[in-house]
Structures are given as C-alpha cells and as structure tokens.
Amino acid sequence: MKNIFLVMACLLSMPFSLLAQYNVEKHLTYLASDELTGRETGSEGINLAANYIENFFHKHNIQPYYETYRDSFQVKNKAAYNVIGLVEGTDPKLKNEFIIIGAHYDHIGKGKEINGDKIANGANDNASGTVTVMEIAKHFAENPSKRSLIFALFSAEEMGLLGSYHLAGRMKKEKLNLYTVFNIEMVGVPMQNKPYLAYFTGFGASNFAEKFNVYAEAEVLGFLPQAKDYQLFERSDNYPFFSEFNIPAQTACTFDFTNYDYYHHVDDEVSEIDTNHMQNVIQAFIPGISGMANSTEKEIKLN
C-alpha cells in the first residue's frame, strides 16, 4: 500500500506535460503489448483492447453513443465491434450537429516471424491513433464544445475498412446530422523537414486543412504528394463516411513512407514510437477540433 501511495505522489507532482506523456505511453504500452496478440479482428486480443477503451471512456465520463459502447457486426462468422463514445454538445441547437473523431484500433495479428517474434503489435498502426483519440476524448469530456463529438474506434480496418463501412451505413440510415470526420492514422513518429505537423489525405477535396490551421493558429495539417499517389484518401476509415454522407471526411497521419520501417511488421513496437511527438500531435489537434466544434457556422466545406 505504501508503494501505491508513493507512485501516486510521484504522478501528482509531475509537470502536466510529463504526466500527459506518461499517460500516452501507458495506454500505448498496453494496446501494443504481446498480451493483445496483434489485435486481429475477432480475436481475444482485440476484445481486451475494446475492454480497455471502454473502461477509459467510462472513467472519464465519455458516454456510450449507443446503448453500450459497442457497435457490433459480423466478419467471417466472427463477432466484431467498433467502440463508440459521445461527448454531448453544450449549445441547444448546435449539439444536434455531430463531428466524428476516429481511428482504427485493430491490427493484423501475426506477421512474418523475425527472431522468434510473430506478433505484429501495431504500435504505430494504429495504437498511436487510438491513444490520440482517447486523449482527445478525455480533453473534451472535461471541456465540452458546442457541437456534439463522437469518438469512434473502428475494428476490421485491416480487412477492408469493414468497421467504418458498417458504422457509416448505420448512421446514414439513422439520419445523423454529421458535419465532419477527422480520422487519425499512424501518428507515432514525426516527419522530417516538413513545414507542418501532419499531412491530410484528400487535401484538395475540401477547405478542411485550411480552416483547421486557422482554428489552431499553426501549420498543423499539410499536403503530402505521396498521399495522393497512393490514394490514401480512399484507404482509411474516413472514406466510408465521405461515400455515405458526401461531407468533409479526411485522415491526418505522420507516417510518410520514409520515417518508419515497420509497417505491418513484427517490430512495430512501442520502443520505436516517439511519445513526446505523440503528445505534441494531441496538443496541436485539440484547438483545431475545438475551432470547428465551436464555430457558429459550418465553415468546413467540400470544394
């Protein structure tokens, strides 16, 4: 018991920035641990990840969007589920407009064996995005915006965006008044020699990045030619919402094909992740999200 109190005292005495980074590393370490066996959709490992996210949401007063946090569907006769939380808006009118902040929390499970290791832990892909969404959700639970925010952690992304297609279709049938989707993918390592923090897929499809940077008062989101070359706009969980709702729905990422060697690799481990950079990303994203969640008009539009 004495040791527990000592640990708590040390945490409480930490500067805020160090405590925030500690929390990022703690969540990342669990979600990318061998215990979760690579978080393959339908596995016990991804069920443990879902439990962890649900407990985090509950602890920080992020409400279930549906009756429970789980939005369930079937993949190859296996149970799968997105984990969906809600922070209701404070404005009587604008709270009926919704923004989705999302990331996929699944990964591929096993990879090519190297030195006896078969577990593709998925620290960058996409435990980093998952933790970023969790920490952003915590912030807005403590500082709610005028519009309502949905925090969506998608399953079965690695199987063809199946979780986000399921949820986008369901929400379309439910006639959700959806304003934008801000998806987060692989933000565990910084880019080099770029004037912005993260690139934004589908950059020219809307004024999203431009307005986001104005809200954030910084060059947070920018254009990466490779994102267009590799058609990344269509390859992440933003795309089903764009397809269903025809709204600005795009993905922020800092993996630029030159700064990380372990995509879908067993060495995609926490030890390779820059948690200080991740905390910078979280802190940079919050004012941009706050700006679009509190603006009196829908200023973000498709081009």
Residue 115 in contact with residue 59, Cβ under 8 Å?
no
Taking the whole predicted model, whether its pTM rises above 0.85 is answered as yes
Tell me the average pLDDT across 104-115.
96
The encoded tokens of residue 126 equal: 């996409």
Quickly count: other Cβ atoms within 10 Å of residue 301's Cβ: 12
For the chain, which residues make up each domain, given as ranges? Answer: 17-294
Q: What is the pLDDT of residue 19?
A: 76
Q: What is the pLDDT of residue 1?
A: 47
Residue 280's nearest CA partner among 115, 135, 108, 95 is 135
Q: How many residues are recorded in the chain?
A: 303
Q: Work out the mean pLDDT of the chain and round it to a whole number.
A: 94
pLDDT at 12 over 60: no
Quickly count: other Cβ atoms within 10 Å of residue 234's Cβ: 14
Per-residue pLDDT tens over the stretch 251-297: 999 999 999 999 999 999 999 999 999 999 999 999 999 999 999 99
CATH topology (fold) of 17-294 = Aminopeptidase (3.40.630)
Q: What is the pLDDT of residue 21?
A: 84
Tell me the average pLDDT across 166-187.
98
Q: What is the pLDDT of residue 4?
A: 46
